[in-house]
Each structure stands twice: as C-alpha cells, then as structure tokens.
Amino acid sequence: PTINSSNPLSARSNCSGYSPYPVSSETSPSAKRKNWNFKNSWSASPLPTQGKGHGGKPERANGTNVLLQAYISQLKLEGFALMADMVYVTQSAARLLRAIFEIVLHREWAQLADKCLTLCKMIDRRMWQSMSPLRQFRKMPEEIVKKIEKKNFPWERLYDLEANEIGELIRVPKLGKTIYKYVHQFPKLELSTHIQPITRSTLRVELTITPDFQWDEKIHGQSEAFWILVEDVDSEVILHHEYFLLKAKYCQDDHLVKFFVPVFEPLPPQYFLRIVSDRWIGAETQLPVSFRHLILPEKNLPPTELLDLQPLPISALREPNFEGLYMDKFPQFNPIQTQVFNAVYNSEDNVFVGAPTGSGKTTIAEFAVLRMLQQNPHGRVVYLVSRDSLAELVFMDWHQKFGLTSGLQGRQAD
C-alpha cells in the first residue's frame, strides 16, 4: 500500500489488455532517449522506461510507459507506427487506472489510492501535477501560465491577491482580472466537522461542506464530483470513503454529510479528513480532526443500582380501565417496574431497560402503550421480538388486553 508512483503504471502496462502490444525499435526507450526526457513531476526519478524482459527484449511496460508520458506531456510524435501505438496505449489507460483506483480504494490503501487518482486526472487533463492548476482552463493563455509557473508562487496564495496584484505579479496588468476570475472559479471547498463518540470504538462525524468558488456552467457543467476520505494519523489507511456530488443548483448551499468511522486504542492524536476532486488536479482540501479533547465512554458502563423503593400499587396508573388489566394478576409492581415506572409512564424520554428474563420487561413495555393510549389514542406502537413464536404470544395477549378493552387494533408483521 505504500509503493511508489511507478507501480500503478507498471500494473496498468502489464495487464492482459496490452498483451498484443509489441515493443518495436521505434517505441523502445533507447530509441527515444535522445529526444525525450520525461521526468515524473511528483517523484525525484523518472517513471520506469528502461529494463529488459525475457530474451533480452525490452519489457512491454517500458514502451507503454514512455508513450503514456509522451501523451501526458502533449508531445507531437513523428511516424505512423508511433502515432498508432500512442492511440492504442492511451485509449484505455484512464479506464484501467480508474479500475486500479477502485481496487486500492476498497482495500483502504490511502497513499496508493491518492497516487492512482492523481494519475487518472493527469491522463484526462494531459498535464503533470507540478504544473499550475490554471492549465486546466482551456481559454487561459499558455504564455501567461508559464510566467506564473516560473514565479514559483504558491497556488494557495493566489486566492489572497486582488486582480491588480495578480496583474502586477505576472507583469501583465490587463490580464489580472481574467486570472483572478479563473482562480476563483477553481473548485474549492471549506470543511468543518463535529465529532461525537457513540461507543469506545465508533465515532459519529458530521461534516459540513461549503462551496467556496464561483460556478460557471460552461466550465463545471451541471455537477462536480468529489471523494470524501478519512485517513488515519499516518495517512496510510482509509477509514471511510464516499462519493460526493455537488450539483449546480446547490452550489451556494452548505451540505451536511453524516457518517461513522472506527476509532482504536490507544487513541490517536488526530485523523485526517480530505475531500478531493474527481477530475480537477490540485482541487483538494484537508482538515485535521483533533482528538485532544475527545472523551470516550467508559469501557464497561456500571449497571443502574436497583433502589430499595416501596413497590408501587396498581392504582399508580390513575386510570380504572388500566388498573383492571393487572388487578387479577398482581396487586403491585415489582422493584424493577417500580423504579422505571415514572420514566416510562409519565415522560416522553427515550428509555433503555436491560434486565434478566422474568423481570417483567413486557409489563414495562405495556406502560409505554398505556401512555400512548392516554396521550395519543390514534398513535401507533411497534413492538419487536426476536422469535416468531414469542411475537405470536405477545400479539394474542395484547389483542385481548388492549384490543377488546381499549379498541386498539393490531396485526403481526411477516
């Protein structure tokens, strides 16, 4: 999962789809070395273009890698054989790398997934990652882009400059407004998060995505696609990923995305949340999610202590019809029923009751049914059990208890 950028290209070049592709003398690396000097812009060394296969012949991967780099660099090739080979290699390069990206994404390999997606976008855009993102705008004059690239001015700082300042930077004042417009049309998203521990091993994340760029339908179309990625503290494992589609009609709105991520002990200092454009090179936002003030739930929650309370009589229901349901069974509620009675019968709060078998939990559920009959006679009750046989027993009991006396109708779901 931490292999370098050349490995995805080698995997692509060695796939069965390129098995008929011969490495001719024209397409061999040695034939091009005098005129072609490709350097991978996001690595210190060029992509592999040298090496021998079986029988001392050049490997197929080397030839396809050279042609792919020529395609990305927009080099003009001479000779029919080279042009035909270029079409053959590049026709399916993006498709195969997309497949590799999907594979490594589902294997949760963070660094390799990032490199594969970047390769896909470089092939689609026919530009290297180190080039200015402004090259992705077709109407942008190339000589102006070259001036910006020669300045080595950080791309992020262009957002802080006014139109006249950009014009002064490149010494072409009249183009300041044009460049300013393109800079602010480049997809950029602002992120904010709220995290909440659900258990000691699960976090609930609420991610707010705010578009921070000017939408132009001619450039962005009807929608822009992004990948939401949550990575571990070492940026090696993808803990969560999902596809996010930003539509043109909602480009001014905040978007709330909710999901769950695992958390492990010992608690790491932070996770990294990234949102990456599916087609724009350099359109990426990263947000560290700090766990400094995160407090996880206790490992083993202590059970609620059973209080020594005076058992409640049936008359606590304060309704003669309800009291008649239990009068013939028992005169008072047991200790567990007594302790939870007020929370279930006299409030709308959510309640979880965990108690041993035979402790009267069904009667506690009936407290909630009786409250609904009091407060909302036309309401609906859903009762879930683990076995069909048990569901049938409860249904028959409640049909006699509530259906005949209170008019509550019910049915047993399949």
pLDDT tens digits, 104-143:
999 999 999 999 999 999 999 999 999 999 999 998 988 8
Place of tokens 């942008």: 140
> Is the fold of 189-290 the same as that of 314-406?
no
Q: Note the pLDDT of residue 44.
A: 35
**Domain 1-13+30-48+57-129 fold:** Sec63 N-terminal domain-like fold (1.10.3380)
**pLDDT 10s digits, 23-63:** 455 555 444 443 444 444 434 334 444 444 444 444 555 67
At 387 the pLDDT is: 86
Question: What's residue 136's pLDDT?
Answer: 94
Domain ranges of the chain: 1-13+30-48+57-129, 131-186, 189-290, 314-406
Three-state SS for 112? helix
What SS3 state is found at 231?
strand
Fold of 314-406: Rossmann fold (3.40.50)
pLDDT of residue 59: 54
* Model confidence pLDDT, tens digit, residues 143-167: 899 989 998 888 989 999 999 999 9
3-class secondary structure, 2: coil
Alpha-carbon span 42 to 282, nearest angstrom: 12
| Fold designation for 189-290 | Immunoglobulin-like (2.60.40)
Closest CA to 65 of 14, 112, 26, 131: 14
C-alpha of 146 from chain center: 35
CA distance 339 to 355: 12
Q: Could you give phi then psi for residue 315, rounded to 5 degrees?
A: -65, -10
Looking at residue 179, its pLDDT comes to: 93
Q: Pick one of 1.10.510.10, 3.40.190.10, 1.10.10.10, 1.10.150.20 as the CATH number of 131-186.
A: 1.10.150.20
For the chain, list residues with pLDDT below 50: 20, 23, 29-58
Q: How far is it, in rounded angstroms, from Cα 39 to Cα 130?
A: 11
CB-side neighbour CA atoms (13 Å) of 375: 13
